[in-house]
């Protein structure tokens, strides 16, 4: 699929707009559509989503903080002024009633296809129509058109092809059920589950029909308990999805506010912002590397390194114990007692006749009492503070001797920690300089401070929401365990019934088929998993520069993502920076697109987001020119300066700039930077 034209009429920030996307080539595959925040980039990507899937669950949940709209509210607008609907505000004021999105593309057979979704909107209701022209030389309407588009681009595919670069780091850190299910659908694995579930239902119905009433009643009771657990599980899942949408909205608002703060900062010309930003990025990278080293290297015995005086006092007490004659005598007697009992009764040659087990136990106990009477009690083993067995004292003494002499290791760890403190101070100083707005008016300074404080509160709320998600994950894991137990009970109950020969034959055949398809699914997943793991590691290596924390990315059987260091040890997700997570998610999307074989245009909003400059250059050189046949990139004006534009320019075949100073009439201006072919 290659987009040729996109027409928008009266949707979101657009009154009337056309994007001509013809003219791509393997060497020039990027269409660049840039603009400031609020100028129409997100509106465009939402228009594309609306064409293919209409107002789906993600769009309904992504508008207002704290609640999800229904489809009618999304189209027409909420009662309050928080959301005015999809109709362009200026068109609504002019009394217009029609809006639409229309896209024309070439399919895999080079046939021209045009899809159009339109709305006629009144004050209290709307009518939506969908049609596809050119699909099999006929026009498809509404349900037929929806079925065609769903087969071409199912809504579960959308997060992998149309996405915001600022939000994709969630893919790397989620490993959530919904995402993993979407990956299975993208890889054409989930239809096997549908088939297996159908066979399961058939088997259960056949068994239930053959049951006696008492057994059937118990089965219904168990199924009711399972359904109650499932309802709790789904409620937690819904809550988690809601919190995740809140996090995404907060992070989007944080980013928007940061742009506003940047405009305040830009007004201060007393420092070189570019140089300070580069230095901040360098120090932050150094700090991350140092913190990773400390997390990996700092031993669990750090209290022993940090308290040399206490260690020396403990050594002195241990020496009193070890060098005490009485304690040495007690230790020797205990060793003799242990060895003598074993050598005398448990090793050949044995007595004739051989002692019975009860006799052996009797004589061992007698021997221990006789020799034990000569072992001094612990209170007679010296006047020190410590009371322990001599072998334990000797072992502990050798360990503490090492730490008493570990000055070199102590100095190294102290130096590393001082370095971390120094980098933090330097970063704080740079942040203070970057936030210096002293040359602005008092009113503007106050606005800056309030915005910054509000944004910090949003960041804290994101952290609190992430903790809540962890708590929900724990609850879901427990309910999942209970569900598995309940399923086992149901299975046992189903098998208690004696079924007739005809029913038994159907059940056995269905179970054989189910086992076959499960085995086939496992083999298919293993093959896809290996291909994704190979691809994601290759792509991550191409995108990452100067960072050795992650040496391998492992893809689990369920397609969950796990990180490993050079020694094969797991790397915690929390130790990765936001930029690192975004690069990880980018590599994952690249690998999934490659392995799935789906050729759909990529539409990417805010493509460089929070990534540092060196890795931005990697994306511009190695990712966007190679990730697909057609890539539509929607950067902000601040993301793509002259240097970065020069990196991507050789691969750009169309370029547009969005202008929308009033906020409700995006103008599409074609740029002339792209040379004629």
Cα of 168 vs its chain's centroid, Å: 8
Inside any domain, residue 448 = yes
The residue-averaged pLDDT of 226-253 equals 86
Residue 269: per-residue pLDDT:
47
Inside any domain, residue 241 = yes
Show the beta-strand stretches assigned E in 565-640.
Answer: 570-571, 602-605, 631-634
Inside any domain, residue 527 = no
Residue 444 tokens read as 């503007």
Inside any domain, residue 164 = no
| 19-72 pLDDT per residue, tens | 999 998 989 999 999 999 889 999 999 999 999 999 988 888 878 776 788 899
Band of pLDDT at residue 424, cut at 50, 70 and 90: confident
User: Among residues of the chain, what percentage have pLDDT more than 70?
Assistant: 77
Residue 326: per-residue pLDDT:
52
CB 604 within 8 A of CB 631: yes
Residue 677: per-residue pLDDT:
46
Lowest mean pLDDT among 249-258, 394-403, 506-515, 566-575: 394-403
Give, in degrees to the nearest 5, the angle at Cα 619 between 617 and 623: 140
Strands laid side by side in the 602-605 sheet: 162-164, 602-605, 631-634, 30-34, 652-659, 667-670
Which residue range forms the structural domain that includes residue 232? 212-263+442-497
- The span from the CA of 42 to the CA of 659, in Å, is 13
CB 553 within 8 A of CB 536: yes
CB 634 within 8 A of CB 33: yes
Number of domains in the chain: 1
The residue-averaged pLDDT of 247-258 equals 80
The residue-averaged pLDDT of 172-188 equals 66
Sorted by sequence, the CB contacts under 8 Å of residue 403 that are 6+ apart come out as 301, 304, 305, 308, 311
Inside any domain, residue 539 = no
For residues 265 and 15, the model is more confident at: 15
Band of pLDDT at residue 280, cut at 50, 70 and 90: confident
Average pLDDT of the chain to the nearest whole number:
80
Residue 640: per-residue pLDDT:
85
Sorted by sequence, the CB contacts under 8 Å of residue 191 that are 6+ apart come out as none
Inside any domain, residue 216 = yes
Helices (H) and strands (E) in the chain, counts: 22, 15
Strand 570-571 relative to strand 2-11, pairing: unpaired
Q: How many residues does the chain have?
A: 677
pTM tops 0.75, yes or no: no
Residue 377: per-residue pLDDT:
60
Residue 502: per-residue pLDDT:
63
CA distances (Å), origin 245, targets 62, 240, 252, 460, 463 = 6, 9, 10, 16, 14
Residue 175: per-residue pLDDT:
45
* Highest-pLDDT range among 72-86, 398-412, 531-545: 531-545
- The span from the CA of 91 to the CA of 86, in Å, is 11
The alpha carbon torsion through 410, 416, 418, 419 (nearest 10 deg) reads 160
- The span from the CA of 260 to the CA of 246, in Å, is 21
Compute the half-sphere exposure of residue 579: CA atoms within 13 Å on the CB side of its CA: 19
Query: Helix, strand, coil % (nearest 5) of the chain?
Result: 60, 15, 25
CB 104 within 8 A of CB 5: yes
Inside any domain, residue 171 = no
SS3 state at 228? helix
| 441-458 pLDDT per residue, tens | 777 778 878 888 888 898
The residue-averaged pLDDT of 276-303 equals 72
Residue 129: per-residue pLDDT:
96
Residue 231: per-residue pLDDT:
92
Lowest mean pLDDT among 146-155, 235-244, 455-464, 490-499: 490-499
| 493-506 pLDDT per residue, tens | 777 655 555 677 77
Inside any domain, residue 247 = yes
For residues 671 and 392, the model is more confident at: 671
Q: Using the structure block, give the residue that is written with the tokens 């997390």.
A: 295
Given a cut of 50, whether residue 270 has pLDDT beyond it is no
Q: At what angle do helices 501-543 and 578-596 cross, to 10 degrees?
A: 130
């Amino acid at each position: 699929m290659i987009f040729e034209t996109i027409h928008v009429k009266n949707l979101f920030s657009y009154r009337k707009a056309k994007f001509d996307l013809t003219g791509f080539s393997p060497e020039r595959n990027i269409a660049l559509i840039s603009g400031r925040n609020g100028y129409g980039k997100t509106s465009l990507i939402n228009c594309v989503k609306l064409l293919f899937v209409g107002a789906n669950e993600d769009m309904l949940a992504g508008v207002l903080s704290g609640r999800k709209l229904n489809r009618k509210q999304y189209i027409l607008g909420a009662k309050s002024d928080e959301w005015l609907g999809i109709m362009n505000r200026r068109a609504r004021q002019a009394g217009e009633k029609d809006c639409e999105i229309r896209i024309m593309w070439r399919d895999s057979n080079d046939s021209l296809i045009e899809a159009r979704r339109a709305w006629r909107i009144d004050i209290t209701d709307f009518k939506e129509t969908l049609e596809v022209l050119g699909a099999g030389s006929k026009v498809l309407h509404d349900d037929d058109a929806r079925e065609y588009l769903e087969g071409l681009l199912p809504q579960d595919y959308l997060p992998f092809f149309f996405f915001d670069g600022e939000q994709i780091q969630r893919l790397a850190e989620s490993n959530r059920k919904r995402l993993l299910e979407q990956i299975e659908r993208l890889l054409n694995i989930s239809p096997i589950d549908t088939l297996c579930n159908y066979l399961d239902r058939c088997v259960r119905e056949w068994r239930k029909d053959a049951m006696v009433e008492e057994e059937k009643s118990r089965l219904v009771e168990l199924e009711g308990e399972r359904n109650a657990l499932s309802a709790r599980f789904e409620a937690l899942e819904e809550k988690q999805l809601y919190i995740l949408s809140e996090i995404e909205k907060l992070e989007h608002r944080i980013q928007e506010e940061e742009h506003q703060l940047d405009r305040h900062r830009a007004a201060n010309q007393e420092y070189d912002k570019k140089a300070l930003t580069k230095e901040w990025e360098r120090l932050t990278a150094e700090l991350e590397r140092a913190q990773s080293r400390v997390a990996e290297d700092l031993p669990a015995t750090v209290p022993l390194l940090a308290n040399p005086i206490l260690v020396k006092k403990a050594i002195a007490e241990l020496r009193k114990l070890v060098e005490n004659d009485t304690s040495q005598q007690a230790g020797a007697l205990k060793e003799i007692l242990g060895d003598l009992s074993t050598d005398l009764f448990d090793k050949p040659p044995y007595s004739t006749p051989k002692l019975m087990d009860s006799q052996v136990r009797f004589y061992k106990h007698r021997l221990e009492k006789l020799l034990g009477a000569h072992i001094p009690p612990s209170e007679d083993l010296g006047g020190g503070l410590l009371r322990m067995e001599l072998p334990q004292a000797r072992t502990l003494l050798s360990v503490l001797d090492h730490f008493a002499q570990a000055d070199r290791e102590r100095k190294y760890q102290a130096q590393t920690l001082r370095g971390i403190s120094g980098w933090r101070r330097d970063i704080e100083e740079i942040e203070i300089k970057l936030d210096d707005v002293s040359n602005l008016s008092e009113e503007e300074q106050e606005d800056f401070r309030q915005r910054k404080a509000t944004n910090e509160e949003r960041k804290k709320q994101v952290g609190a929401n992430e903790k809540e998600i962890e708590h929900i994950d724990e609850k879901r894991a427990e309910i999942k365990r209970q569900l598995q137990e309940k399923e086992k009970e149901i299975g046992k109950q189903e098998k208690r019934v004696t079924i007739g020969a005809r029913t038994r034959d159907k059940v056995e055949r269905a179970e054989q088929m189910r086992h076959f398809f499960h085995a086939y699914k496992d083999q298919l997943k293993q093959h896809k998993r290996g291909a994704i793991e190979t691809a994601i590691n290759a792509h991550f290596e191409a995108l990452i520069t100067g960072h050795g924390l992650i040496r391998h990315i492992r893809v689990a059987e369920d397609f969950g993502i796990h990180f490993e260091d050079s020694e094969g040890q797991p790397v915690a997700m929390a130790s990765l920076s936001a930029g690192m997570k975004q690069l990880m998610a980018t590599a994952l999307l690249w690998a999934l697109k490659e392995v799935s074989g789906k050729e759909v245009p990529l539409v990417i909003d805010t493509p460089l987001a929070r990534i540092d400059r060196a890795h931005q250059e990697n994306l511009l050189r190695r990712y966007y020119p190679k990730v697909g046949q057609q890539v539509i990139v929607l950067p902000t004006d601040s993301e793509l300066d002259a240097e970065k534009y020069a990196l991507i320019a050789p691969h750009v075949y169309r370029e547009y700039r969005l202008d929308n100073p009033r906020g409700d009439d995006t103008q599409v201006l074609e740029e002339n930077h792209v040379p004629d072919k």
